Amino acid sequence: MAEKDLNDLFLDTLKDIYYAEKQIYKSLPKMAKAASSDKLRAAFEKHHGETEGQIERLEEIFELLGKPARGKKCDAIEGILDEGKEIMEEYTGAPALDAGLLASAQAVEHYEIARYGTLKSWAAKLSMASAVRLLDQTLAEEKKTDDTLSQIAETAVNAEAA
């Protein structure tokens, strides 16, 4: 087997998160539709728009690398999104539905934060300043979304569910 280095790992992980973002982009409107809280629905809709920009940033990075933008199946995001789907099916109309949706959405954000944090540090190691900047912009959006979701959970949704 050829000796794979950090460049290979960076590209493979970029493909992983590219696949994941596309799946997330498809799921967010379904989660928005399922949410009963207006605040939660608005948060999902806002992040759907941001996700479109995040996909474009990843495409810019593929371009910087001179590689075609191509996803590679991410089993982790498939599993996290499947759990979210299960909540939507099993808690339809229930008081705890939004609490479950929030938990699923935060699992998604935490996966993304882990991936973007890693990619950013690898890009720095590989002296790819433009990629660092693009990855950092997305990382900041994912962290902010996670904070917003925590706030919604604490101020409204969990009390409703209890």
Interface positions with Fe ion (CB under 5 A): 16, 54, 74, 76, 112, 142
We find the least distance from the C-beta atom of residue 50 to Fe ion, in angstroms, to be 7
Which CB atom, from 126 or from 146, has the smaller least distance to Fe ion? 146
Nearby residues of 91 by Cβ (< 8 Å), 6 or more positions away = 97, 100
User: Which CB sits closer to Fe ion, 76 or 156?
Assistant: 76
Which residue is it, tokens 């912009």?
Answer: 137
Smallest distance from Fe ion to CB 23, Å: 10
Residue type for 37, please? S
Phi-psi region of 93 (alpha: psi -120 to 50; beta: other; left: phi over 0): left
Closest to Fe ion by CB, 98 vs 112, is 112
User: Nearest distance from residue 91's CB to Fe ion, in Å?
Assistant: 22
Tokens of 41: 């629905």
- CB-nearest residue to Fe ion: 74
Amino acid found at 154:
E
- Residue closer to Fe ion by CB (options 33, 94) is 33
CB of 119 to Fe ion, least distance (A): 12
**Residue whose C-alpha is closest to residue 104's, from 78, 89, 85:** 85
